[in-house]
Amino acid sequence: MTDAVAEKSQDRPVETGSDSAVSVSLRNAVKRYGDVTAVDHLDLEAKQGQFLTLLGPSGCGKTTTLRLIGGFEELDEGRVRVAGQDVTRIPPYRRPVTTVFQQYALFPHLSVRKNIEYGLKHGGLNRKEIDSRVTEMMGLMEIPEMGDRRPRQLSGGQQQRVALARALVMKPPVLLLDEPLGSLDYKLRKGMQFELKRIHREVGATFVYVTHDQEEAMTMSDRIIVMRDGQIEQDGRPKEIFDAPKTSFVADFIGDTNLVDGTVTDSRDGFVTVDLGALGRVRGTSEAGLASGERARVSIRPTDVRVIATKGQGAVVTDAVLAGTHIAMKIKAGENEVTAHVPRGSSPSPGETVLLEVESERVRVFEAESE
């Protein structure tokens, strides 16, 4: 072994070790449309068999990122690798990925069966193999008796299953899903979330899933990447993203939260105390490295707020409505308004004065946003 090789292998010990487990990777990816940078120096890695969700509001670059992996957009800078192969300059029809499109994109002139076997005809399989794979896939999708129908004769949920079958019958190492549940109604969507999870377990492919629905992301994903303005805002397991959002943007996007601005009065042991004016002081965890006197933004989940009735002092309840399983309450203190979700039962009514309590471990403190 020469010195040069030894040096090289020492140089990148981590990458060579984990290369086989990485299924999709984007390195320093940039995509511009005119003056707009849709994807801005993005680094992303999905492990083999992972259910990875790209989550963000519309225009955050999540769909563009997916299209870069699928090959429908060309990178302006950076590289894409899929299943250990550099595909940066490879056209979509030669990439080892398939896609479930937002509007399903089923071929209207072909029957369900012909739709599903569409891609297999170019794979060098014989008729018998094609038939058995299509039949197997229709079984997995629970649409075995629909082979002769045309897509327009199917319901939205059935079309969804055909689109999935058509993509998965190719046995791709990576499946891309672009808001596939977006056009289904609420109940079907909930059902399909569990279905997708089951299918993911059964086929074992890497799923890269794009959505703006945080609930969908939380339910299905092994890992969530929250995107904003073409960059990654936070990358982690669903629980981490929910419980420990790194920025106020993430806290706001994932689940309901109250965002209140104030001034830092004390900071020690990872806890920061913030003066919120009329709302009083609150202690919370922070990784922002804030010092006394700095402006800060505090995130408090409505479900974490405890409301205690007082006699004649503190904040005032301005509104209380029954929201199914809980009561959503609006509480005003000076300039600030806070929403609290309290259990049904004996709770203060509008006009009464209250004291608010929240556990410090549940409160997150961020740098104030300068907008």
Closer Cβ to another protein, 91 or 343, answer by number: 91
Shortest spacing between CB 103 and another protein, in angstroms: 6
Instruction: Give whole-number Cα distances, 247 to 84, 199, 367, in Å.
Output: 33, 33, 8
Closer Cβ to another protein, 70 or 348, answer by number: 70
Closer Cβ to another protein, 90 or 309, answer by number: 90
Shortest spacing between CB 101 and another protein, in angstroms: 5
Closer Cβ to another protein, 140 or 279, answer by number: 140
Closer Cβ to another protein, 57 or 123, answer by number: 123
Q: Does the CA dihedral 270-232-242-279 come out positive or negative? A: positive
Shortest spacing between CB 42 and another protein, in angstroms: 21
Backbone torsions φ then ψ of 151, nearest 5 degrees: -50, -40
Closer Cβ to another protein, 102 or 219, answer by number: 102
Q: Footprint of another protein on this chain (CB under 8 A)?
A: 70-72, 91-94, 97-99, 101-103, 105-109, 118-119, 122-123, 150, 166-167, 170
Shortest spacing between CB 93 and another protein, in angstroms: 4
Closer Cβ to another protein, 104 or 242, answer by number: 104
Shortest spacing between CB 154 and another protein, in angstroms: 14
Shortest spacing between CB 99 and another protein, in angstroms: 5
Shortest spacing between CB 118 and another protein, in angstroms: 6
Closer Cβ to another protein, 117 or 352, answer by number: 117
Closer Cβ to another protein, 175 or 342, answer by number: 175
CA dihedral of residues 360, 363, 365, 366 (deg, nearest 10) = 160
Residue 223 pairs in a beta bridge with: 52
Shortest spacing between CB 192 and another protein, in angstroms: 19
Q: And the tokens for 153?
A: 């004769």
Shortest spacing between CB 278 and another protein, in angstroms: 39
- Kindly report the three-state secondary structure assignment for every residue of the chain: CCHHHHHHHHHCHHHHHHHHHEEEEEEEEEEEECCEEEEEEEEEEEECCCEEEEECCCCCCHHHHHHHHHCCCCCCEEEEEECCEECCCCCHHHCCEEEECCCCCCCCCCCHHHHHHHHHHHCCCCHHHHHHHHHHHHHHCCCCCCCCCCHHHCCHHHHHHHHHHHHHCCCCCEEEEECCCCCCCHHHHHHHHHHHHHHHHHHCCEEEEEECCHHHHHHHCCEEEEEECCEEEEEECHHHHHHCCCCHHHHHHCCCCEEEEEEEEEEECCEEEEECHHHCEEEEECCCCCCCCCEEEEEECHHHCEEEECCCCCEEEEEEEEECCEEEEEEEECCEEEEEEEECCCCCCCCCEEEEECCHHHCEEEECCCC
